């Protein structure tokens, strides 16, 4: 039996019901059957119709990437088979609806036709249930317990009338029975493992939202935009349960400025958007920096420029996050690497924002935001949460008092007797507008001094791989998983490789990066953008030769792409 499988579902959302829901239900059922899962999806950019794809990789060990070649493909139409069939392994299996199309026998080595539409119509009374038929068949082929699938289907349709639930149960069981009767190979069974700890299954966006609530976020404002909208939906649903407020604003400018106002009033505040919306927030980002008010901005990056590739992934907003805006406005930029990192990383983002009274930008991306992964359930009581330094009653108060680390006590309106003016104009220590050259320099120095201290905070890099390696991979964001898997492939071939993923991109954790750069001979920097933005930052700061690996295709790196580049570097060394 294999120790992992990669399953993909594809079809047109305009003519096929449930491409994404098929994958989502399979993912939940697999995770509840003690497997680790890692998903990847792409939705069509069209409002109605267009090809969608959902991929789930399942294993009895930690799964680090979405996988490359497919073991099972569920194709709801001929276009999906033609598009994704080339990614099937030589012994892979294509499952298709014989009521919709019949593929060329020579197209794939193994094809398995099921009259999905007929079974759905006869058993459930509607062809729309064909996705549940397909899921039942696939579940049987993978050896999933039928009861697990029943539970997931019941949950999926819990808001529907009982007759709809029962109809889908019949569709599920009929698909299961069809696969069982026709005796498909058991080569697609993956042995589950005994879990030693409880696991959660969440998407990156869900983990960000849940982590923010634990960090103390009590105000959220946002405007819908792919792929960040799920954060808004989560916060609207869950934040009121924690005495918080979530609102949908008229645009991204209103969202970020209302967060600044909420922070001024003492609340921990967050907004989320994607590249186009983030561009609209640039002026307000400067206001948060000038008023030294902590806010957290999530940028779920997608392909650009302009509306670009709204449903595809990219890491191309780094320059905007680090350098964007008029004037010089210090900010912190962080980037998570996986779903677990989304949860713990957003807590760190709030902690840094509060401790240093500074805006923090959190760079996710479409792949990570909408990816689903399993991770060990965190012990919430052990997670440290920081709060801002507040004014002490009775002291002569200066909101922007010059201090050693640049952080000044903040007075909360209604809580502290004293008040201050939070203005976008340059100001003196008391907050009064002041435009003298000497004062402007002092205040710029105060605001930027914080970055020197933030750069020394620990826990913003992760080093893995071989201790004594010639090739070192320096990376950021969601590429960590494919890199780690590529290093495993290299190790099996006797190649030693090390990697350092950087979780804070501004300011850079300088000590860790310098130590890593000095420990390797060749530095590879893979990025999901065209110009190598992180590579340019590293070369400018450290003045070293690096080897870029830029991918700009709307999809994540595969482990093989990283591994092939490692081999190429060593062949030229």
Nearest by Cα to 144 from 194, 189, 182, 113: 189
Residue 104 inside a domain? The answer is yes
Same domain, 163 and 244: no
74 and 111 in contact (C-beta within 8 Å)? no
CA distance 34 to 320: 41
Task: Indicate if 176 and 212 belong to the same structural domain.
Answer: no
Q: Which of 10, 12, 26 is nearest to 372 (CA)?
A: 26
Q: Provide the pairing of β-strand 360-365 with 296-301.
A: parallel
SS3 labels along 488-553: HHHHHCCCCEEEEEECEEECCCHHHHHHHHHHCCEEEEEECCCCCHHHHHHHHHHCCCCEEEECCC
Q: Which of 188, 215, 243 is the last residue of a domain?
A: 188
Domain that holds residue 273: 201-382
The SS3 assignment for 166 reads helix
CATH number at residue 554: 3.40.50.920
**Is residue 471 within 8 Å of residue 522, measured between CB atoms?**
yes
Q: What does the pLDDT read at residue 423?
A: 93
Residue 349 lies in a domain: yes
Cα angle for residues 173, 178, 183 (degrees, 5° grid): 130
| CATH code for the domain in which residue 378 is found | 3.40.50.970
On whether both 33 and 157 belong to a single domain, the answer is yes
- The residue with tokens 């399979």 is 26
94 is written with which tokens?
């294509």
Q: What is the reported pLDDT for 184?
A: 64
Query: Do 499 and 406 sit in the same domain of this protein?
Result: no
How many other C-beta atoms lie within 10 A of the C-beta of residue 459? 11
Angle (CA) 313 316 317, round 5°: 110
Residues contacting residue 229 through CB under 8 Å, at least 6 positions apart: none
Residue 196 falls inside a structural domain: no
The three-point CA angle 162-168-174 to 5° equals 140
Closest CA to 350 of 171, 219, 537, 522: 219
3-state secondary structure of 421: coil
Q: Does 308 lie in the same domain as 177?
A: no
Same domain, yes or no, for 237 and 320? yes
Last residue of a domain, one of 188, 209, 241: 188
| Same domain for 239 and 181 | no
Half-sphere exposure for 478 (CA within 13 Å, toward CB): 33
Query: Which residue among 382, 409, 424 closes a domain?
Result: 382
Q: What is the CATH number of the domain that holds 176?
A: 3.40.920.10
> Cα dist. 284→399, 420, 431 in Å?
20, 19, 18
Task: Please list, in sequence order, all residues whose beta carbon lies within 8 angstroms of the beta carbon of residue 493, skipping any fewer than 6 positions away.
Answer: none
Give the CA diameter of the chain. 84
What is d(CA 550, CA 572) in angstroms, rounded to the nearest whole number? 19
And the tokens for 345?
């990383």
Q: Would you call 320 exposed, middle or buried from its count of C-beta atoms within 10 A (0-12, 13-18, 19+)?
A: buried
Cis peptide leading into residue 507 (ω within 30°):
yes
Are 476 and 422 in a shared domain? no
Say whether both 163 and 251 belong to one domain: no
Closest among 303, 276, 274, 252 to 42, alpha carbons compared:
303
d(CA 573, CA 565): 12
- What residues of the chain score a pLDDT lower than 50? none
Residue 450 inside a domain? The answer is no
Distances (CA, A) of 364 to 187, 477, 484, 513: 36, 7, 19, 21
Residues 331 and 250 in one domain: yes
Is residue 59 in a domain? yes
Cα separation, 467 vs 488, in Å, equals 14
Distance between CA atoms of residues 126 and 424, nearest Å:
60
Residues 244 and 340 reside in one and the same domain: yes
Domain count of the fold of the chain = 4
Please check whether residues 213 and 136 belong to one and the same domain: no
* 51-59/4-12 β-pairing: antiparallel
Q: H/E/C letters for each residue in 107-143?
A: CCCCEEEECHHHHHHHHHCCHHHHHHHHHHHHHHHCC
Kind of pairing, strands 199-203 and 372-376? Answer: antiparallel
In a domain, 448, yes or no: no
């Amino acid at each position: 039996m294999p120790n992992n499988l990669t399953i993909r579902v594809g079809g047109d959302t305009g003519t096929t019901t449930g491409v994404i829901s098929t994958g989502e239900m399979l993912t939940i059922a697999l995770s509840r059957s003690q497997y680790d899962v890692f998903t990847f999806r792409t939705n069509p950019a069209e409002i109605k119709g267009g090809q969608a794809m959902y991929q789930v990789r399942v294993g009895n060990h930690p799964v680090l990437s979405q996988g490359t070649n497919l073991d099972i493909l569920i194709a709801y139409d001929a276009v999906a088979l033609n598009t994704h069939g080339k990614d099937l392994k030589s012994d892979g299996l294509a499952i298709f609806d014989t009521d919709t199309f019949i593929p060329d026998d020579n197209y794939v080595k193994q094809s398995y036709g099921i009259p999905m539409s007929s079974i759905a119509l006869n058993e459930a009374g509607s062809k729309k249930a064909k996705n549940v038929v397909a899921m039942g068949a696939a579940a049987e082929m993978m050896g999933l317990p039928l009861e697990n699938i029943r539970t997931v289907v019941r949950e999926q349709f819990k808001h529907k009338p009982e007759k709809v639930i029962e109809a889908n149960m019949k569709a599920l069981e009929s698909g299961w029975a069809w696969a069982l009767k026709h005796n498909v190979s058991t080569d697609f069974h993956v042995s589950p493992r005994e879990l030693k700890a409880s696991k959660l299954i969440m998407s990156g966006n869900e983990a960000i939202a849940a982590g923010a609530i634990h960090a103390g976020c009590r105000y959220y404002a946002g405007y819908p935009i792919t792929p960040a909208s799920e954060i808004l939906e989560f916060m609207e649903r869950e934040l009121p349960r924690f005495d918080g407020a979530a609102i949908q604003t008229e645009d991204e400018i209103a969202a970020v400025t209302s967060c600044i106002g909420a922070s001024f009033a003492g609340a921990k505040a967050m907004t989320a958007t994607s590249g186009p919306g983030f561009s609209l927030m640039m002026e307000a980002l400067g206001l948060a920096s000038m008023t030294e008010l902590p806010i957290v901005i999530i940028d779920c990056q997608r392909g650009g420029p302009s509306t670009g590739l709204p449903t595809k992934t990219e890491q191309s907003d780094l320059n905007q996050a680090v350098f964007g805006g008029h004037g010089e406005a210090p900010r912190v930029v962080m980037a998570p690497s996986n779903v677990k990192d989304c949860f713990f990383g957003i807590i760190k983002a709030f902690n840094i924002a509060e401790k240093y009274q500074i805006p923090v930008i959190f760079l996710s991306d479409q792949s990570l935001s909408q990816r689903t992964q399993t991770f060990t359930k965190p012990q919430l009581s052990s997670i440290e949460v920081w709060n801002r330094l507040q004014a002490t009653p009775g002291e002569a108060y200066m909101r922007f008092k010059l201090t050693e680390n640049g952080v000044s006590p903040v007075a909360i309106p209604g809580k502290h007797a004293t008040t201050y003016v939070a203005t976008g104009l340059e100001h003196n220590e008391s907050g009064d507008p002041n435009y003298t050259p000497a004062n402007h320099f002092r205040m710029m120095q105060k605001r930027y001094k914080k970055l020197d201290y933030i750069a020394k905070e620990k826990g913003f890099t992760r080093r893995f791989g071989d201790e004594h390696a010639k090739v070192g991979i320096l990376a950021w964001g969601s590429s960590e998983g494919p890199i780690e898997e590529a290093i495993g492939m290299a190790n099996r071939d006797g190649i030693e490789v090390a990697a350092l993923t950087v979780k804070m991109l501004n300011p850079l954790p300088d000590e860790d990066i310098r130590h890593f750069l000095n420990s390797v001979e060749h530095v590879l920097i893979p990025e999901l953008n065209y110009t190598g933005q992180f590579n340019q930052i590293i070369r400018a700061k450290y003045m070293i030769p690096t080897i870029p690996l830029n991918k700009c295709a709307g999809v994540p790196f595969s482990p093989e792409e990283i591994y092939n580049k490692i081999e190429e570097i060593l062949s030229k060394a």
